[in-house]
Structure 1
Amino acid sequence: MGLGLVLQGHAFAKADPDKVIRIAFEQADNGFDMQRVSSLYSTWMSEAIYETLMIYDYLARPAKLVPQVAEDMPEITNDGRTYTFRIRKGIFFTPDPAFKDQKRELTSTDVAYTLKRIMDPKTLSPQAGSFEGKFVGMEELVKEAKASGKFDYDKPIAGLETPDKYTLRLNLAEPDSTMLHLLANSHSGIVAREVVEANNNDVGRHPVGTGAYMLKEYVPGSRVILVANPDYRGFTWDFKASEPGDERLVKEMKGKQMPQVGRIEVLFIEEDQSRWLAFDSGQIDLAELADHASTKVLDNGKLRPAFVEKGIKISRSLAPAITYTFFNFRDPQVGGFSLEKIALRRALAMSYRVKDEIVQVRYGQAVRAQSIIPPGVYGYDPAYRNSIPYDPDLANKLLDRFGYKKGPDGFRNHPDGKPLVLRIHSAPSTRDKAIMEIWKRSLDAIGVRAEFPVSSFADNLKAAYRCELMMWQLGGVAGIPDGMDFLDSYYGPNAGRGANRNCYQSEAYDEMFRKARILPEGPERLALYQKMVRQLEADTAITLNLWRYRNFLSQGRVLGYKKHPIMYGDWRFLDVEKK
């Protein structure tokens, strides 16, 4: 096929059960129901369990889409409004009681059901905003569901047509240049209706997909074990080198029948030091290098000779990701669009000592972010500069100007005289503790009190979905190689359903968002992206912090590893030498 992923037809893959890869994550997952959750670590594992219509070529840079469940790239007609897919025959879900001992083939109806489930108001999908208004007839179906309290999955709509088992036709209200990327996103991982309904619409701990791996063991917050799906059709590793260093991967892997690895063991180790020691001692095969260990392991971004001699390999890049601290726009202390609230958020953003985080927490493995659209995705502009600088003197003057006066104790009150007390949430990790200490020093310099509640990442995430956290520092990672993926997090209708965690709702922003998502790639769309970013800065929706270098290490016995900028669940592309 010339696409790097040469499928084997009906010949099932035969992964070696004695080949094991062990990996450590710094945070626990949030379950495996990808229509309902938005978590990097859930995505990482779910992409190995579920499949999507499209996938990314493993080595191509910039990111390039290729077919997965689809037989080929879709036929696009009607001036970009109609996408016709042919579904590959012989793709089967892993066995489940919901199938009543019958072998269950994936069909076009399953894809249509999955897309409808994203839009079901009860699903509260973080991806719903991305698909809003796109499929002809879907908005009417959503309105009916909101009125009746029940989504009618059996009602046909013009936007999702299934003429036969293996044909899917998407009819869009307007052209959309991000559509194929959205269909490759983990939230579009295809599920079976019977399984969802048998589990009362919650498959978070009961994932059933058609991917290379399936869930064997799940201990929330501790470990996950995946094993190769014996019914997976497999593919031949045939990717082409596109960057320096790729030739080694091609030499290691070309022509192998995939997947090779029979078992994936995922451990959750929140402490950076513990995670690094597990990798350094050989207990872990794949891990992201903890920032604090970078001074020992790296020299100017390259592995030091001692680690090269041990056979360790590195995959390093400035990630298509950001870190930021959000403000809850529904919070009575920091939310809202009045001038004094905007001034408060602006002062807080100007007070944060980003350089301290880069040096003391990230050990130089980051740079100050200039835009919420990071390098590596469409819409990134290297000349763009953030309009909110680090300037605690100006922050103090701004707070004085808008009535946030200091009391006898040196701390500021609201203009009405009530105490101003921030609550900045974090997780119980050494890194989060250090970041909270930087926040405290930053706020002390402008006379603002703060409390720093600590909860697990999963608990904080659930609370953020409900718009209950006043402030929280997070990372955002590109799910598609387009800046729309980051802009989507501030689209008003997404508030309270996952993607828009700070519940920011601006009519001006939403109008630009709706216009931008139907424009083709080009100058007009790029200009609108910049206006949207400036609107977020004017309202000070977040404090924008860092773009991070991400250093992924692999032991010498792991073959074919290179971190993809968008795609996760990369174990299906790897091999490992037995110990």
Structure 2
Amino acid sequence: MLKFSLVRRGLAGCGGAIVLACTSLGAWAANAPAPASAAASSPAPAPASATAPPAKLLRYSFPVAETGFDPAQVSDTYSRIVTAGIFEAPLTYDYLARPFQLKPLTAQALPEISADFTEFTFRIRPGIYFADDPAFQGQRRELTAQDYVYALKRHYDPVTKSPNLYLLENAKVLGLSELRKQALAEKKPFPYDVEVEGLRALDRYTFRVKLAEPSPRLHHVVFNDGSAFGAIAREVVEFYGDRIMAHPVGTGPFRLAEWRRSSLIALERNPGFRELRYDEQAPANDPEGQAVARRLAGQRLPMVDRVEISIIEEDQPRWLAFLNGESDVMDRLPNTYAGLAIPNNRLAPYLQQRGVQMFRAFLGDVTLATLYNMEHPVVGGYTPEKVALRRAMNLAYNGPQELVLVRRNQAVRAEGPIPPINYGHDPALRSEMSEYSPAKARALLDLYGYRDRDGDGWRETPDGQPLELELATQSDQASRQLAEIWQKSSKAIGIRMRFKIAQWPENLKSSRTGKLMMWGVAWLAGSPDGDTFLALGYGPNKGAANHARFNLPAFNELYIRQNKLPDGPERFALMQQAVKLMVAYAPYKMSSWRIATDLMHPWVIGYRRNPFQREFYKYVDIDHARRPVSP
């Protein structure tokens, strides 16, 4: 999932107010170096009676604007945080369990999987309903297996331009790619009513997926992710047409109540949501998690009535909104305020006195100081001099400065694409990707003919043409800081660099279509498996996960081989070979694996970051007795 910041699309207790999740960070580090847009109309809630409990409101903010709420069209993290609360996949991850564990959500049980990992059969629970919507013309609409068939087919529809199609294409679902090619060739609407062998509803509540090749982790990658692959009703899509991004209708615990683009997103409890009780399982070595599980056990989900998400791009107003109690959760403390709020990664005394809670965990992501468009005539290509240019830029980039000045030590240096909490990570790996050496960079440029021939202090290309790089960026504080690091780093080796500033959604769109030379982003996993990070380099993923448009046959072969194997030594070895090729050819500069520090006011109950479950707000409660002033 690019956390775009790119979708897709993923530590043991420390004592006190600090909890570290997923894997021990300390132990690991010891061994490592627009205008308003109307949402679907819904009736206003009736006034609360004198004896009714007050509505529970959860407020927090995004640092980046959303793009929309159609699962088949979005890939950015922030839009998918919203769609995850509206749409549901057959499976989900237990919110508290570590290691991460799949469990049924709309499915009756985990899927039936053939021994060769080419057939997956899902049985959906009867009695699950979509949220009421005008598209249903006053009828209550039950979820069926056909809704999942339709939802998956939408990713193949050329009109949808799904950024997540690559996940299904890589799995080679029988017959669907052929339908897509037919629609493209004939320039006709996608034939949704044509049945294919690879995706079929067997009865009202059962559907089967058949693949041309093994895919041992398909259910972890696709069928656990409602944010992109959740069930959607065909009549809703046809009712709203090209307005579907503003009218999400799913079976999940929330529905869209209000949307002011790039300003405010409000979700309200879905009044027709089925009875679903809190039943999360914390590990034995997590006493804080176990306390949460005991306190909330049996509570009906969701526990809050409304979620309001403000878009606050700058760090200072986001921080002040939390301090002033206008935000209940500080989702990822801005790095700018790490020294003030968590000196030495301990919660500051003044925050402890206010009862503020703290939770730290690896995000399961990799920051890309830049991607290099491999099809661009200046930075792209596979010849030795083009590889040398990218590697020299990577060596010149002041990664240590990024960690200190921008990340404020809320990250560790990346040796490759796969972060510590994802399968395929090798803690012993040390690579050039993390090295900072302007001297080596200059020597490499000299060796391959990037020299200053006219004495103006700037290098030219090997054939004597002017050399100037362009980095796409945004106007927020962190982007400005990163751009400054790039400017100083490139100047130190005699390479001109200019900057093209645009809004983040605009850069995302341009990057997908190959219109940017360079862009700094991050990639966030949707599951604990490291395949999603190798997907950054797989050629057929170009324009989807692979924004660098890297296409190396040797890498592609390794990617396919590891993808077909079950977890084990053979697959792990192939993953390491692929990582080394990605480092050597340098389609990206991977700079860090980030650690999220989340802060919560004392009236927020049950918050625990799960990097692979976006809709945390489904699992938290608000204690009005501890909230000083009603919002």
What is the TM-score with the length of structure 1 in the denominator? 0.94
Q: Deviations over 1:99-125 (max 9, x none)?
A: 222221111011011111122333222
1:333 corresponds in structure 2 to 378
CA contact (8 A) 1:33 1:202 kept: no
SS of residue in 2 equivalent to 1:204 = helix
SS in 2 for 1:214: strand
2-side partners of 1:43 and 1:87: how far apart?
Answer: 23
Q: Matches of 1:244 and 1:440 in 2, distance apart?
A: 47
Q: How many angstroms apart in 2 are the aligned matches of 1:179 and 1:92?
A: 25
Q: Deviations over 1:446-477 (max 9, x none)?
A: 00101112111111111111111111111111
Q: Does 1:134 align with 2:172?
A: yes
Match of 1:555 in 2: 601
Report the residue type matching 2:427 in the other structure: P
Contact (CA 8 Å) 1:31, 1:42: kept in 2 or not? yes
- Between 555-564 and 127-136, the greater mean CA deviation after superposition: 127-136
569, 590, 595: which one aligns with 1:544: 590
Distance 1:291 1:234 in 2: 39
Flag the 1:494–1:199 CA change in 2: closer, same or farther, 3 A.
farther
Give the whole-Å Cα distance in 2 for the aligned partners of 1:320 and 1:328.
24
CA distance in 2, matches of 1:414, 1:211: 55
1:227-249 Cα offsets, whole Å, 9 max, x none, are 00000113111222212421331
- Is residue 325 of structure 2 the alignment partner of residue 256 of structure 1? no
What amino acid does structure 2 have at the position aligned with 1:57?
Answer: D
User: Is residue 588 of structure 2 the alignment partner of residue 528 of structure 1?
Assistant: no
Does structure 2 conserve the Cα–Cα contact (< 8 Å) formed by 1:129 and 1:491?
Answer: no
CA distance in 2, matches of 1:94, 1:466: 35
1:345 alignment partner AA: R
Q: Distance in 2 between matches of 1:75 and 1:576?
A: 38
In structure 1, stretches of 5+ residues that fail to align are: 1-13
Map 1:75-86 onto structure 2 (within 5 A).
75-86=112-123
Q: How does 1:77-116 map to 2 (within 5 A)?
A: 77-116=114-153
CA distance in 1, matches of 2:343, 2:379: 42
- CA shift for structure 1 position 139: 2.9
Aligned sequence identity (%): 40
Q: Partner residue of 1:414?
A: 461
Structure 1 segment 80-479 matched on structure 2, within 5 A: 80-132=117-169, 133-149=171-187, 150-181=189-220, 182-185=222-225, 186-200=227-241, 203-242=244-283, 243-287=286-330, 288-324=332-368, 325-388=370-433, 389-406=435-452, 407-479=454-526
Of the structure 1 ranges 200-209 and 101-110, higher mean CA displacement relative to structure 2 is found in 200-209
Q: Give the CA deviation at 1:575.
A: 0.5
Q: Is the 1:319–1:375 contact (alpha carbons within 8 Å) kept by the matching residues of 2?
A: no
Q: Once the 2 structures are TM-superposed, how far is the Cα of residue 172 of structure 1 from its aligned partner?
A: 2.1
Q: Counterpart of 2:152 in 1: which secondary structure?
A: helix
Query: 1:319 Cα deviation (Å)?
Result: 2.1
Amino acid at match of 1:329: M
CA separation in 2, counterparts of 1:331 and 1:62? 42
Match of 2:30 in 1: none
SS in 1 for 2:592: strand
C-alpha separation in 2, matches of 1:573 and 1:75: 28
Separation of aligned partners in 2, 1:455 and 1:16: 45
Structure 1 residues 491 and 124, CA, compared in 2 at 3 Å: closer, same or farther? farther
CA 1:125–1:202 in 2, change beyond 3 Å: closer, same or farther?
farther
What letter matches 2:269 in structure 1? A
Q: 1:201 Cα shift? A: 5.3
Contact 1:23 1:284 in 2 (8 A): yes
Partner in structure 2 of residue 481 of structure 1: 528
> What are the Cα deviations for residues 361-380 of structure 1, in whole angstroms up to 9, with x where unaligned?
11111111112000111111
| One-letter amino acid of the counterpart of residue 98, structure 1 | A
- Distance in 2 (CA, whole Å) between partners of 1:347 and 1:252 is 54
Q: CA deviation at 1:381?
A: 1.1
CA contact (8 A) 2:395 2:432 kept: no
What SS is found at the alignment partner of 2:595? strand
Ranges of 4+ aligned residues in structure 1 off by more than 6 Å:
14-17
What amino acid does structure 2 have at the position aligned with 1:423?
E
SS of the aligned residue for 1:147 comes to helix
Separation in 2, partners of 1:352, 1:102? 59
**Equivalent pair of 1:351/1:395 in contact (CA under 8 Å):** yes
SS at match of 1:209: coil
CA drift at 1:425: 1.4
Q: 1:3 maps to which residue?
A: none
Distance 1:232 1:148, change over 3 A: same
CA contact (8 A) 1:16 1:260 kept: no
Q: 1:51 aligns with which of 88, 97, 100?
A: 88
Instruction: State the shift of 1:56 in Å.
Output: 0.7
Q: Distance in 2 between matches of 1:414 and 1:79?
A: 51
Task: Report the CA distance between 1:577 and its aligned residue.
Answer: 1.6
Per-residue CA deviations over 1:147-203 (Å, capped at 9, x if unaligned) read: 223321111111112121101112222221221112112221211122222333552
Between stretches 448-457 and 129-138, larger displacement belongs to 129-138
Looking at structure 1, the residues matched to 359 and 131 of structure 2 have their Cα atoms a distance apart, in angstroms, of 32
TM-score (norm 2): 0.87
Instruction: Identify the residue that residue 560 of structure 2 maps to in structure 1.
Output: 514
Q: 2:62 aligns with which of 25, 30, 54?
A: 25
Aligned length: 565
Distance 2:63 2:281 in 1: 32
Q: Once the 2 structures are TM-superposed, how far is the Cα of residue 408 of structure 1 from its aligned partner? A: 2.2
3-state SS of 2:443 partner: helix
Q: How far 1:442 sits from its partner (Å)?
A: 0.5
Residue of structure 2 in register with 1:499 after alignment: 545
Q: Please give the alpha-carbon distance, in whole angstroms, between the structure 1 residues aligned to 2:243 and 2:195.
A: 24
Distance 1:251 1:74 in 2: 29
Q: Deviations over 1:51-87 (max 9, x none)?
A: 1111110100121111111111112235332222111
Whole-angstrom distance in 2 between the partners of 1:419 and 1:202: 46
Aligned equivalents of 2:575, 2:238: Cα separation in 1: 40
Q: How many angstroms apart in 2 are the aligned matches of 1:79 and 1:338?
A: 40
Q: Distance in 2 between matches of 1:344 and 1:549?
A: 30
Is the contact between residue 555 and residue 581 of structure 2 (CA under 8 Å) also seen in structure 1? yes
Distance in 1 between the 2:616 and 2:126 partners? Answer: 24
Q: Which moved more, 1:502-511 or 1:230-239?
A: 502-511
Query: CA contact under 8 A between 2:98 and 2:282: conserved in structure 1?
Result: no
| Structure 2: gaps of 5 or more residues | 1-47, 625-629
Structure 1 window deviating more from structure 2 (417-426 vs 142-151): it is 142-151
What is the one-letter code of the residue matched to 1:379? G
SS in 1 for 2:141: coil
Task: Write the distance in 1 (CA, Å) between the matches of 2:294 and 2:194.
Answer: 51
Q: Is the CA contact 2:365–2:523 (under 8 Å) kept in the aligned structure 1?
A: yes
Pair 1:567–1:157, CA change in 2 (3 A)? same
Distance 2:197 2:271 in 1: 37
- The one-letter code sitting in structure 2 at the alignment partner of 1:374 is P
Amino acid at match of 2:533: F
The alpha carbon displacement at 1:17 in A equals 6.8
